[in-house]
Amino acid sequence: MRRVLILGGTAEARALAAELADVPSMHVVSSLAGRVTNPRLPVGEVRAGGFGGPDGLATWLAAERIDAVVDATHPFAARMTASAAEASARTGVPLLVLRRPGWPQGPDDTWQRVDSLEAAATRLAVAMPTEPTEPVRVFLTTGRRSLPVFTGLAGVWLLARSVDPPEPPLPPNVRVLLDRGPYTVEGERALIREHRLEVLVTKDSGGQLTAAKLVAARQLGLPVIMVDRPPLPTGVRLVESVNDAALWAQG
Ligand code: NAP
């Protein structure tokens, strides 16, 4: 039996688990961080919760006699990816990173690229009129844990969309919208209009499930502040398609 660990929490990880499920002589374990209530589950065996850093993961890989690891976590799950790279280097268990491509910027998009959430907040502050009569209305889709980076900004009103609720208490300039993709362009356009949103702040997650907001922003002429992905650890092997990852996982 070839034993493969998939570090998951993404649509690609679920697709990979599904693709490998019927391969004879393979045993696949998918791992989730265990932080989302009611997560979408992959087929096959699933474990949940952190490993305890690179040390914990290295120990787990040895104990479970894992032959290969596919890190199919979200492009912004940088700690998990760093931990996987370190555990792989230490144990010799081969690692492949599966990352969907980032979103391409089109000629009609008004994007400003920044390299961190903090830089996005600074960019928002700089872009604001010095004495706004009305708060600038921001559509924030960077995740519930990023909210504190933006809530302290003066002169902004935030529509923060997330899968699970952010930690209370929330300041009065924040309205939370609990939702999980996939989203449609019509739906996103309606949301932008309903809340009179003026700027979108998002992360370059890539993929189809949440891309509709970018199309809606383009159509409605909304500027976008796009947070770039954190860099991958040096030397890791990278593929962008589930198919390539499935071939690699089979050895
Ligand atoms: P992170 O900051 O890189 O990870 C923090 C810690 O959570 C890791 O050090 C690890 O704990 C644990 N962890 C993360 N992913 C794990 C996994 N698949 N299995 C077991 N433990 C995991 O990651 P994050 O940004 O919080 O993301 C957590 C999960 O949500 C990931 O599975 C990711 O694919 C998914 N997700 C993230 C985003 C996002 O925007 N960041 C969006 C959608 C889905 P230990 O150090 O104890 O091992």
Mind listing the domains of the chain with CATH numbers? 2-99+230-249 (3.40.50.720), 111-227 (3.40.50.2000)
Distance 109 CA to ligand 1 centre (A): 30
pLDDT of residue 127: 74
Cβ neighbors of 23 (< 8 A, separation 6 or more) are 250
Name the residue at shortest CA distance from atom 12 of ligand 1: 50
Reported confidence tier of residue 132, pLDDT bands at 50, 70, 90: low
Using the CB atoms, write b or e for 96-133: b if 16+ within 10 Å.
bbbbbebbeeeeebebbebeebebbbebbeeebeeeee
pLDDT of residue 128: 72
Could you tell me if 3 and 27 are in contact, meaning their C-beta atoms sit under 8 angstroms apart? yes
- Quick one: average pLDDT of 148-165? 94
- The CA distance from 208 to 90, in Å, is 35
CA atoms within 13 A on the CB side of 5: 26
Q: Could you tell me where the DSSP H helices lie in 92-177?
A: 117-127, 147-151
pLDDT of residue 194: 98
pLDDT of residue 129: 67
Distance 9 CA to ligand 1 centre (A): 8
- Quick one: average pLDDT of 138-160? 95
Q: Reply yes or no on whether the pLDDT at 200 is more than 70.
A: yes
- Quick one: average pLDDT of 188-205? 98
Give whole-number Cα distances, 100 to 8, 19, 43, 218, 224, in Å.
13, 16, 20, 22, 20
Reported confidence tier of residue 166, pLDDT bands at 50, 70, 90: very high
pLDDT of residue 218: 98
Decide: residue 164, CB within 10 A, 0-12 exposed, 13-18 middle, 19+ buried: middle
pLDDT of residue 92: 98
In the chain the beta strands, taken as DSSP E runs, fall at: 2-7, 26-32, 45-48, 68-71, 95-98, 111-114, 136-140, 156-162, 174-178, 199-203, 224-227, 237-239
Q: Reply yes or no on whether the pLDDT at 130 is more than 90.
A: no
Q: Which of 35, 37, 66, 79 to mutate to test the pocket of ligand 1 (most atoms within 8 A of CB)?
A: 79
- The CA distance from 92 to 58, in Å, is 10
Share the mean pLDDT of the chain.
96
Q: Reply yes or no on whether the pLDDT at 59 is more than 90.
A: yes
For ligand 1, residues with CB inside 6 Å are 7-10, 31-33, 50-53, 56-57, 73-74, 76-80, 83, 143
**Looking at residue 144, what DSSP letter applies?**
G
Q: Reply yes or no on whether the pLDDT at 88 is more than 90.
A: yes
pLDDT of residue 138: 97
**Token couple for 51:** 């490993």
- Quick one: average pLDDT of 45-65? 98
Name the residue at shortest CA distance from atom 11 of ligand 1: 50
Reported confidence tier of residue 165, pLDDT bands at 50, 70, 90: very high
Distance 33 CA to ligand 1 centre (A): 5
State what percent of residues in the chain have pLDDT above 70.
Answer: 98
- DSSP reduced 3-state for 32: strand
